[in-house]
Amino acid sequence: DEVRKQFKTGAKLGEGTYAIVYSGHYKSDPSSLVAIKKIKVNQDYKDGIAMDAIREIKFLSELDHPNIIKLHAVFSTKDQNISLVLEHLPLGDIETLWKTHSISYSPADIKAWANMLAQAVWFCHENYVLHRDIKGNNLLIAADGTVKLADFGLARSFADPGRPMTYNVITRFYRPPELLLGARHYGGGVDVWSMGVVIAELAIREWFLPSNTDFEQLVAIYDVFGTPTEDSWPGVSQFEFYTPPDDSSVPAPANGTGPSHRATSPSQSTQSSIKRPQPLTYWRQRFPLLGEDGIDLIRGMLTLDPRKRLSAREVLEHRYWTNAPRPTKKEDLPRQG
């Protein structure tokens, strides 16, 4: 109650799946804007949603970084709901940015936004926090142009490697192959994959890996990165949802004993489910705004085998950030409105 009385709630800013967000300010200082996120109660999900809110509180209160949304306070409302008082981030989000075609932006702008995201993810991982829901819609933009990672509802600590985790996390388009295959032990690589997808979307201004089902999501990933094999990804065949590729259309190696018994009909050969990774020319054509360095970086972030994927630290050490063009200064970034 004491905490609640410090704030004045204003107009509704937006509504998400589990919260309504209002504008507000400290009563002591009407110029100090905040966002008040009131967690919705739904009788059926009350416990789960309260858990999400408590996770968000726990992780946000531990992370203090310029590219991570600041949590000012937490209070319970009269109707026993939880409200989070968050930093006010009025300039929309990264997904809206690439969707708004009246805003044009350059390779240097993409580099600046991508770098702020990479700093945020690195800081989470340094502090043993997995975000687990990185997507354009969760990257909000402050009045001064700073990108801030928000929505820590799915975050969890990865300090406890022994405990199995759920694979049903991360919005589908951003979900890495190990989660789609059912991995229950995973690490920072899940966030690095999501970050790679976000940067790709910023560069092409459309969804990079859209799909309608979890199975289609794997197909979309394999269409670009090729079908994983035990050679490219040791252990991949052990995952719960791994399906061995139908290799009936791949010609048997010629061994001089006459026609292959695996000769196939034309219709079968067009159905080959073993896919080869797209060549560098595909990346150059689709991602001209990233340049050679940016392409190398996102391919490192989007490596199928999570053990070979770049870590958040390696992402920050990449030459993309220091080579030309230099990232745009945040006060010079294009903005909405």
Annotated catalytic residue: which of 52, 93, 109, 133?
Answer: 133
Residue 21 binding ligand ADP, by CB under 6 A:
yes
* Dihedral angle of Cα 154, 158, 160, 165, to the nearest 10 degrees: 50
Question: Which range touches ligand ADP (CB under 6 A), out of 88-96, 115-123, 182-190, 205-213?
Answer: 88-96
Quick note: the x/- pattern for ligand ADP over 94-133, rule CB under 6 A, is ----------------------------------------
Residue 15 binding ligand ADP, by CB under 6 A:
yes
Residue 316 binding ligand ADP, by CB under 6 A:
no
Residue 99 corresponds to which amino acid? Answer: K
Judged by CB under 6 A, the residue of 88, 111, 175, 299 near ligand ADP is 88
Q: Of the candidates 328, 315, 317, which has an alpha carbon nearest to the alpha carbon of residue 289? A: 328
- Find residue 9's DSSP bridge partners: 24
Residue 144 binding ligand ADP, by CB under 6 A:
no
The string of DSSP codes covering 62-78 is: H---TTB--EEEEEE-T
Residue 191 binding ligand ADP, by CB under 6 A:
no
Residue 168, judged by CB atoms within 10 A of its CB (0-12, 13-18, 19+), counts as exposed
Strand pairing of 19-26 and 29-39? antiparallel
64 belongs to the catalytic site: no
Size of the site for ligand ADP (CB under 6 A): 18
CB atoms within 10 A of CB 305: 15
User: In the complex, what is the shortest distance from the CB of residue 140 to ligand ADP, in angstroms, rounded to a whole number?
Assistant: 6
Residue 41 binding ligand ADP, by CB under 6 A:
no
3-state percent helix, strand, coil for the chain, nearest multiple of 5: 35, 15, 45
Contact 13, 5 (CB under 8 A): no
Question: Which range touches ligand ADP (CB under 6 A), out of 57-65, 81-89, 199-207, 307-315?
Answer: 81-89
Question: Which range touches ligand ADP (CB under 6 A), out of 80-88, 172-180, 269-277, 314-322?
Answer: 80-88
- By beta-carbon proximity to ligand ADP, the closer residue of 183 and 198 is 198
Q: Which two tokens stand for residue 323?
A: 């080579």
Three-state SS at 317: coil
Question: Which range touches ligand ADP (CB under 6 A), out of 2-10, 13-21, 224-232, 251-259?
Answer: 13-21
Q: Which sign, positive or negative, has the C-alpha torsion 64, 65, 68, 69? A: positive
Residue 141 binding ligand ADP, by CB under 6 A:
no
- By beta-carbon proximity to ligand ADP, the closer residue of 15 and 317 is 15
Q: Which two tokens stand for residue 43?
A: 């009788």
Phi, psi for residue 33 in degrees, rounded to 5: -70, 145
User: In the complex, what is the shortest distance from the CB of residue 142 to ligand ADP, in angstroms, rounded to a whole number?
Assistant: 9
Question: Which range touches ligand ADP (CB under 6 A), out of 82-90, 102-110, 206-214, 289-297?
Answer: 82-90
Residue 57 binding ligand ADP, by CB under 6 A:
no
- Find residue 251's DSSP bridge partners: none
Q: Which residues contact 243 (CB under 8 A, 6 or more apart)?
A: none
Judged by CB under 6 A, the residue of 11, 17, 80, 161 near ligand ADP is 17
Active site residues: 133
- Interface ranges with ligand ADP (CB under 6 A): 13-17, 19, 21, 35, 37, 69, 86-90, 137, 140, 151
